[in-house]
Amino acid sequence: TLSQWRRATYCTAMAERNRNHISLFCEMQEQEDKPYAKCLSKTWAYLEGELKSLDNLERFFNEFDQWQNSLLDNQESFGAEAAQQACQSLYSATYALLDESANDCELVQLSNKQLLVEFTEMGNDSEDLIARQEQFEIQVFELLTSGKPKRETILSIKKLASSEPESSLGISLD
């Protein structure tokens, strides 16, 4: 069991890693991804101690939540599922900061694994992607449990989560 900030950091790392899913889906839907990007940025800022107001974070969270509901309403493509997984990660991350009892780490981990399984079932070779995602999650958990100071841990995980241009599905927007 991880502490509140660790749970939020884990989910935020997953949201960061898979933000390409949102960007691509929004591009396909001719929608802006600003509410996602803004909520992700504010969640990191709150975790890092730069944003002090939980009310301010909640305002961005509420905007993001309304936006994601309208974006994904009646969408049933694999791209929508990938976008939904990224949104679920971000929702869980921010909600973990707003509600001390929230713990969706396993749900976020499972949904990412299911997305990779479905990707494989569609005929894609995803052995390397699965191994890469598992390695990423191991590195995140090692950092979360390293005993290093909170801010240092969060900055290290943020750097790790944004260090590769590819999402867990190998989507790169370059």
| Cα dist from 13 to 17, 49, 63, 131, whole Å | 6, 16, 20, 17
Q: Is the pLDDT of residue 66 over 80?
A: yes
User: CA 173: distance to chain centroid?
Assistant: 17
**pLDDT, averaged across the chain:** 95
Distance CA 146, CA 140 (A): 10
At 5-33, the pLDDT tens digits run 999 999 999 999 999 999 999 999 999 99
Residue with the bigger pLDDT between 150 and 173: it is 150
pLDDT of amino acid 1: 75
pLDDT band at residue 174, thresholds of 50, 70 and 90?
confident
According to DSSP, residue 172 is labeled B
Quick one: tokens of 123? Answer: 């005929």
Rg (CA), the chain: 15
